[in-house]
Amino acid sequence: MKLELGNFYVKDICFGEKTSLKDGILTVNKEEALAVIKEDEHITEAELYIVSPGDMVRLVPVKEAIEPRYRVGGGPVFPGVTGDLMQAGDGTTYALKDMSVLVVGKHYGGFQDGLIDMGGEGAKYTYYSQLKNLVLVADSDEVIEQREQQKKNKALRWAGMRLSEYIGAVTKDLTPDEVETFELEPVTKRSKEVNDLPSVVLVLQPQSQMEEGGYNDLNYGWDTNRMLPTFMHPNEVLDGAMISGSFMPCSSKWSTYDFQNLPMIRKLYGEHGKTINFLGVIMSNLNVALEQKDRAALFVAQMAKSLGADSAVVAEEGYGNPDADFTGCIVALENANVKTVGLTNECTGRDGASQPLVSLDEKENAIVSCGNVSTLIRLPKMETVLGELEALARDGMSGGWSNDEILGASVKEDGSIIMENNAMFCGDRVVGWSTKTMAEY
């Protein structure tokens, strides 16, 4: 499989008459874009904003981030989700780089939603403060979940995907600034030089813990909860086969943008043929029942072994209960003599003194750690808030609270906030671009 990603670098975004891209300036016809968003009758209110790095803007509750793309030759950017099923990862896709489409709730947040500060001291906590962002702030008629802590956010997330496809289509007849090629020879057809290098599989554990449909990450539109670990080509992940879900405290979450750009895949590609032989991706999942966890680990280890993997990288989208899947998978791989490195974050508590993972095993001897979900963060008032600040305190967002005996509510009268890192939008970047680690004090 060969994927060509044609990249268009976006220097600036503005609203204007014609939705177009010229000399790195993306112009968006707001009315037309809003019409695309409102194609779904469940969207009741929608407005678009543009934010750039350094802007003193706070976005909350953020539900999703997507890279605008266009599938050359036709077809949905997200097969099985925004259109019919088709093979992802084999062909040409255009991408608007250095920007994302962000989806923000106009009023209601939930457990899985996060916060982004585009400027000031809070900016360092999320990746998305470095990007130019087209921000959709919207509400829906999904009244049934407005007051629920767990939200599927279906109308808003799908509106974000439609918007990103609409924006991505500006590249249709243009020539990209650069083309990146992603190609792996079939596993059994590789040269001796490549075969002599240590072989590596990447095991991804996307979020799939909700038994009820509508919350979990989707694989070609299929609920990852209903899936057993399966072998995938990394190009499929980079090209829209996976979309983010709507569950898990936000700093541990992987957005759709994270899947589209998954830095660990890009790094393994970069090393392929030089220091390693990148075999591919084993797409596993995260489960609730122990038997399901064990079954998934068993499948992963068997596949790695059958593929002849010398080593593996395991990354989990979550913490707490999913740590058991993470540890179980690493132990199963090590028991199969696959040398494994784990990629995760930790939950050491507000005082940093708690056990870092719920489940620990001595065989997990190589871990890269990306942060503490429960670090307390205090941030001053921000001039502009897109969405609704009160959502952080009111709606059960994972890093916010309406009352705490000592700390009070997360949102203060003067507009300043106190929260746990948990609510930073995809803040721990366990997909590979975290420059955070953990240190003992």
Partner 1 sequence: MKGILYLNQFFGQIGGEELADFKPEIREGLVGPAMALQAVLGNEVEITHTIICGDNFIGSNTEEAVETIISMLKGKEIDIFFAGPAFRAGRYGSACGHICKAVKQEFHVPVITSMNDENPGVEMFRKEMYVFKGGASAASMKKDVSAMAKFGLKLLKGETLLPAVTEGYFGRGIREQIWLDPPVTGADRVIDMLLKKVHGEPFETELSIPKSDRVAIAPAITPEELSTMEVALLTSGGIVPVGNPDRIQSASATKWGKYDISQIDDLVKGEYMTIHAGFDPAAANNDSDVIVPLDAMRKHQKEGKIGGVYKHFFSTVGTGTTQAEASRMGKEIARVLKKDGIRAAILTST
For residue 318, the minimal CB distance to partner 1 (Å) is 16
- Measured from the CB atom, the residue of 142 and 317 that comes closer to partner 1 is 317
For residue 361, the minimal CB distance to partner 1 (Å) is 7
Find, among 315, 377, 372, the residue nearest to 60 by Cα. 377
Q: For residues 168 and 164, give the distance between their C-alpha atoms in angstroms, rounded to a whole number.
A: 6
- Site size for partner 1 (CB under 8 A): 52
Rule CB under 8 A: choose which of 30, 107, 266, 412 binds partner 1: 266
- Note whether 268 and 184 are within 8 A (CB): no
- Which region among 39-47, 97-105, 204-212, 267-275 touches partner 1 (by CB under 8 A)? 267-275
- Measured from the CB atom, the residue of 140 and 277 that comes closer to partner 1 is 277
Rule CB under 8 A: choose which of 313, 391, 393, 411 binds partner 1: 313
- Note whether 261 and 434 are within 8 A (CB): no
For residue 428, the minimal CB distance to partner 1 (Å) is 8
Return phi, psi of residue 301, to 5°.
Answer: -65, -40
307 lies in the binding site for partner 1 (CB under 8 A): no
131 lies in the binding site for partner 1 (CB under 8 A): no
- Note whether 96 and 26 are within 8 A (CB): yes
Tokens standing for residue 61: 């509750």
For residue 251, the minimal CB distance to partner 1 (Å) is 10
For residue 327, the minimal CB distance to partner 1 (Å) is 9
- Measured from the CB atom, the residue of 73 and 441 that comes closer to partner 1 is 441
- Which region among 10-18, 132-140, 203-211, 348-356 touches partner 1 (by CB under 8 A)? 348-356
Residue for token pair 């457990």: 111
β-sheet with 222-223: strand ranges across:
222-223, 218-219, 242-243
- Which region among 182-190, 218-226, 342-350, 404-412 touches partner 1 (by CB under 8 A)? 342-350
Q: Which helix (H) or strand (E) holds 211?
A: none
- Residues with Cβ within 8 Å of 111's Cβ and at least 6 positions away in sequence, in order, are 149, 150, 151, 247, 249, 396, 397, 398
- Measured from the CB atom, the residue of 323 and 390 that comes closer to partner 1 is 323
Q: For residues 63 and 250, give the distance between their C-alpha atoms in angstroms, rounded to a whole number.
A: 9
Rule CB under 8 A: choose which of 310, 320, 321, 358 binds partner 1: 310
124 lies in the binding site for partner 1 (CB under 8 A): yes
Rounded to 5°, the CA angle 107-152-60 comes to: 35
For residue 143, the minimal CB distance to partner 1 (Å) is 35
261 lies in the binding site for partner 1 (CB under 8 A): no
What binding mask, one character per residue, do residues 354-373 give for partner 1 by CB under 8 A, x or -?
A: --xx--xxx-xxxxxxxxx-
For residue 249, the minimal CB distance to partner 1 (Å) is 15
Per the document, the length of the chain is 441
Rule CB under 8 A: choose which of 142, 317, 346, 420 binds partner 1: 346
- Which region among 34-42, 155-163, 270-278, 284-292 touches partner 1 (by CB under 8 A)? 270-278
3-class state of residue 422 by DSSP: helix
Q: For residues 359 and 64, give the distance between their C-alpha atoms in angstroms, rounded to a whole number.
A: 29
434 lies in the binding site for partner 1 (CB under 8 A): yes
Strand stretches in 185-320, DSSP E: 199-205, 218-219, 222-223, 230-232, 242-243, 277-283, 311-316
Cα–Cα separations (whole angstroms), residue 301 to 242, 287, 306: 22, 16, 9
Q: For residues 155 and 419, give the distance between their C-alpha atoms in angstroms, rounded to a whole number.
A: 27
436 lies in the binding site for partner 1 (CB under 8 A): yes
- Residues with Cβ within 8 Å of 291's Cβ and at least 6 positions away in sequence, in order, are none
Cis amide bond preceding 76, omega within 30: no
For residue 436, the minimal CB distance to partner 1 (Å) is 5
- Measured from the CB atom, the residue of 68 and 371 that comes closer to partner 1 is 371
Q: For residues 100 and 409, give the distance between their C-alpha atoms in angstroms, rounded to a whole number.
A: 31
For residue 277, the minimal CB distance to partner 1 (Å) is 11
Residue 258 CA, chain-centre distance (Å), reads: 4
Return phi, psi of residue 250, to 5°.
Answer: -65, -35
135 lies in the binding site for partner 1 (CB under 8 A): no
- Which region among 47-55, 141-149, 159-167, 432-440 touches partner 1 (by CB under 8 A)? 432-440
Residues of this chain that bind partner 1 (CB under 8 A): 124, 198, 200, 263-264, 266-268, 271, 275-276, 310-311, 313, 339, 341, 343-344, 346, 348, 351-353, 356-357, 360-362, 364-372, 375, 421, 429-441
